[in-house]
Structure 1
Amino acid sequence: MLELEAEIYLIREDEGGMTKEGFSGMMPSFSVANDLIMCKVILDNNQITIKRGEYHRVTIQLPYGEDYQDYISVGYSFTLNTGKRTIARGKVTLVH
């Protein structure tokens, strides 16, 4: 498993994002190398709700991330997706 820290912006509904707030523990897809891979998003500040339209510092766990570690480094920009919908944009701040 690859674990990283990132800053994400959860896209508002009027921007094409989710209709509800996100939550710590949600499992969207993470975009890397033209693939979407499973991930888990965990808020770093003990809160549960990830509010839309705001920036959040999070930990992202990538169970199959070691297969993509050559692509992911500090500053890497990515999206989080559910189905074909992009629900968040982010940038990696630390790779463990």
Structure 2
Amino acid sequence: LADGFNHVSETVMEKFGYEVAVKEDWYEDWRAEEAEVYQTLSSIRAKRLSEEELYYHQRYQFLWYMPHTQEEVVANRGIENVTDTQIT
């Protein structure tokens, strides 16, 4: 609900010529939050995903019904054109 409200607010403000200023050190806030979450989840031995694992998990929602391997999905990471992908 809050994200929807923020999106509507930003859209309306853009129509009037305003924009939302992003703090230059936004990354530091994010790193602090990420470290806190990681510390909390370390009690259940959670680990960070690698770039390849994250890429695969983001695409899995579209691939769950198709036979595939994680290696195939990650190998297709650089393909620019969807028609270049081989679906078997």
TM-score by length of 2: 0.19
TM-score by length of 1: 0.18
Structure with bigger helix share is: 2
- Structure scoring higher RCO (CA < 8 A, sep ≥ 6) equals 1
Structure with bigger strand share is: 1
Q: Which has the larger radius of gyration?
A: 2
